[in-house]
Structure 1
Amino acid sequence: MLSNAMKSSSRLVYCNVRNFTSSGQLNKKVAVLGAAGGIGQPLSLLLKHSPMISQLSLYDLAPYTPGVACDLSHVETLSEVKAYLGPEKLDECLKGCDLVLIPAGLPRKP
């Protein structure tokens, strides 16, 4: 019983510390590699809603990556969305990134 109380109080303290941090910058650039896939699209939408992100770079090999970026640009937030398509644009996409997320993958083969 005491261990359960300690766990819940430590979670409460962690939440309060996280909400009152003084080192949080609101100018983060995040890249999503595999942004046109089944995980990348909803992940990009969730990231677009984050107030900590000022620039969201979407990269994929799929030809409809610019369409995903266009859809996300209609979400009314302050973050800017850019699409990068193809291997030659990868360096440009990653330039200056604070965080890179890679939900990309290949479908399983039987």
Structure 2
Amino acid sequence: MSKIWEFIRNSFTATLRGEFLLRLRFDRWFLHIIYFFVLCALNIWLTLEIEQTMLDQERNKARLEELKIYHAQKTCELVSLDRLSTVEELLEKSGSALTVPEKPADRIK
């Protein structure tokens, strides 16, 4: 039992001194460990960027739908203003002397 406690105590003191990884001979794999952590950090960063792009895309889709509805409403309003009866009513309300022509316009050649 004393060997176990001695091993734990030695491991703890080695950890505090920064020698634990050296005792386990991790110095041979140091570059590989650094490379692994860089790849993990890069993977996390790219995942976050992809999620942000997808959120932007969803927001843009919602905005596009709103603009399509707005466009359809304005098109409907313009079509209703294009009717001859609507134009006559607007001219009468504004007190204009303009009226609908009695004969079609002549073409000049």
For normalisation by structure 2, the TM-score amounts to 0.24
Q: Which has the larger radius of gyration?
A: 2
Q: Which has the higher contact order (CA 8 A, sep 6+)?
A: 1
For normalisation by structure 1, the TM-score amounts to 0.24
